[in-house]
A and B are shown apart, each in its own frame.
Chain A
Amino acid sequence: MTATDQTGTMTPALEARDIVKRFDGVHALNGAQLSVRPGEIHALLGENGAGKSTLIKVLTGVYPPDAGTLWRNGEEVEFHNVRVANRAGIVALYQELSIVPTISVAENILLGEQIPSRGGVVQWRALRRRAREQLDRLHQRISLSRLAGELSPVQQTMVAFARALATDARVLILDEPTASLTDTEITELFSVLRSLRDEGVAILYVSHRLEEVFELCDRLTVMRNGETIVTKDVADSHIDEVISSMVGRSAGELYPDRTTVTDEVALTVADLDGRRVKDVSFTAHKGEVLGIGGLAGSGRSELLRILSGAQKHIAGTIRVGDKTLPHSPGVGRALDAGIALVPEERRTQGVILGSTIRDNIALANIPAVSSFGVVDGARISDIVHKGMADLKIKARSQRQPVGELSGGNQQKVVLAKMLARKPKILLMDEPTRGIDVGTKAEIYRLIRELAAGGTTVIAVSSELPELIGMSDRVLIMHEGRISGEVRADEADEEVLLAYCYGKADSDDHDA
Chain B
Amino acid sequence: MSRIHVAAASAALALLLAGCSRPSGLPTELKSQDQRKPAPNFSLKDADGNAVNLTDYRGKVVLVNFWATWCGPCEAEIPWFIEFEKKYKDQGFAVLGVSMDDDGWKSVRPYIASHKINYRIMIGSELVSEQFGQIDSLPTSFVLDRAGRIASNHVGLVDKVDYQNEIVKLLEDPKSTSVGDAGNAGTGLRAGLTGTGVRAGQRP
| Physical interaction between A and B | no
Which A residues form the contact surface with B (CB < 8 A)?
none
B interface residue numbers (CB < 8 A to A): none
